Amino acid sequence: MTWTAAAVAVVAMGVALALFITDHKAQIKPGASGYGVVRAGFDGVAAPVSGVLATPIRWINDGASSVGDYFGAVSENRRLKKRVADLQHLEAQSIALRNLNLRYEQLLKLRTEPPIPGLTARVVSDVRGPFSNARLIDVGSNGGVKIGNPAMTEQGVVGRVVGVTNNVSRLLLLTDPESRTPILVDRTNARAVLTGDGGPNPKLEYVRGKDTVKNGDMVLTSGDGGLYPRGLPVGVAQQDFRGGWRVRLYSDRSPVDFVRVLVFDDFAQMVDQARLAAPAMPPLSREDQAKLKTATDALAKPKAATTPAPPRSAATIAPIAPPPTKASPPTPPPAPRATTPPAVVAAPQGARPLATAPSTAPKKPKPKAGPPRATPSPAGHSFKRVHTPDNLPQYDPRFPNGRDPGA
């Protein structure tokens, strides 16, 4: 019996290992969402069950908070009065600065970011171990939540949405080992990447510059890559005992029961896609058009003369290209379909691939041979490749700047 049980355990282990490898490959594949139907379905079922089971715990939590509030009211009142007194002079300063800032924006005609709408959601479950840090919230795609949306408490950033069903979403917290967040240090504007490791204080990696971080520096989202809006408060920098930098998160100061999801699309979705996809070339002058036509004709004539079409019998031609008749006029070439390029949320290297919003447009067959990158004209000019909706380059995480160095 022991050997049989061991054999079953080995088979089960093989199945688990295959699942792990498949899931890992799916995650590192460029453009893969890593969040399948099974996970979405599971979240849809687990969230209400977890919510019911967690109700008594929530009561205990609320009771403990009430007791704490009751006994701590006097000391808290005293502390808040002192804080209000400290902040009063900052209020006047803030009003003056805001006024000045608005004037500068108007004078310089700066394009400021639009306000971001938000949705308040209740946290149904909170996974906080060393290997996973995630939360299920009770707002999903029906409420307008999309994959990639950031989530905050009233204090600071909590994480971002990595899975959405109709009424439930899954948040990946900043502390999760798979979380990577581009941030900046408020004092020096130095960039870094906030990397979760399952602990309460995520690490700062790839800190740019020398001595750009000090203990107590405020850390904000940088907005690089369009993953988060710029300037959301994240936490305070703190040096650890090994000399590295960590961040004490502001969101730890607030209760875990509610979050605010910012319905924020990455910057690529905030601009007019139709204008981006429109041909970028300036219109040709009449002279250039005439030159182009002459050159095209010159190219077409010798080709027709040197490569005559082989003779074909009527039997072979007929099924391939029926001659146009009056009863059946020639069908016009199909008009280019307006395809919406998939919304891609850029994820930093190593992060769980975030979001490739499924495109509703039907897939087009891939052309066998694409047009050349630059077509030399007879006059020696070269025409740049025109990006139409059909050949709009897709986001490739290997080349975050949008350039292929090998091309």
Partner 1 sequence: MSRRPSQPLQPWRWIGVPALLSLAATLVFAAPLRLFGLSAPEPVFPIALAFAWAVVRPSLLGPLVLLLLGLFQDLFWGGPMGMWAISFLLAYGVALLGRSLMVGQEIEVIVVWYVGAVLVAIGAAFVLTLINSHTVPNLVSVLWQFLATAVLFPAVQRILSEFRDADIRFR
CB of 201 to partner 1, least distance (A): 9
User: 28 or 270, CB closer to partner 1?
Assistant: 28
Burial class for 34, CB neighbours closer than 10 Å (0-12, 13-18, 19+) = buried
- What are the residues whose beta carbons fall under 8 Å from the beta carbon of 257, sequence distance 6 or more? 58, 61, 122, 123
Stretch that binds partner 1, among 17-25, 93-101, 110-118, 185-193 (CB under 8 A): 17-25
User: 186 or 257, CB closer to partner 1?
Assistant: 257
Q: Examine residue 123 and tell whether it contacts partner 1 (CB under 8 A).
A: yes
Stretch that binds partner 1, among 40-48, 102-110, 339-347, 372-380 (CB under 8 A): 40-48
Long-range Cβ contacts of 113-120 (<8 Å, 24+ apart): 113/229, 113/230, 114/270, 116/229, 116/262, 116/263, 116/264, 117/262, 117/263, 118/152, 118/260, 118/261, 118/262, 118/263, 119/143, 119/144, 119/145, 119/260, 119/261, 119/263, 120/258, 120/259, 120/260, 120/261
- Sign of the CA dihedral 313, 314, 319, 323? positive
Residues 177-216 that bind partner 1 (CB under 8 A): 177-178, 195-200
Q: Examine residue 16 and tell whether it contacts partner 1 (CB under 8 A).
A: yes
CB of 229 to partner 1, least distance (A): 24
Q: Examine residue 315 and tell whether it contacts partner 1 (CB under 8 A).
A: no
DSSP string, 329-348: PPPPPPPPP-PPPPPEE---
Q: Examine residue 130 and tell whether it contacts partner 1 (CB under 8 A).
A: yes
Judge whether 43 and 168 are in contact, CB under 8 Å: yes
User: 230 or 260, CB closer to partner 1?
Assistant: 260
Q: Examine residue 49 and tell whether it contacts partner 1 (CB under 8 A).
A: yes
Stretch that binds partner 1, among 41-49, 227-235, 278-286, 334-342 (CB under 8 A): 41-49
Side chain identity, residue 85: A
Stretch that binds partner 1, among 103-111, 174-182, 184-192, 293-301 (CB under 8 A): 174-182
Distance in angstroms (rounded) separating the CA atoms of residues 212 and 208: 7
Number of residues forming the site for partner 1 (CB under 8 A): 66
Q: Could you list the residues that contact partner 1 (CB under 8 A)?
A: 1-2, 4-6, 8-9, 11-13, 15-24, 27, 38-39, 42-43, 46, 49-50, 53-54, 57-58, 60-61, 64, 68, 123-132, 134-135, 162-163, 170, 172, 176-178, 195-200, 255-257, 350, 352
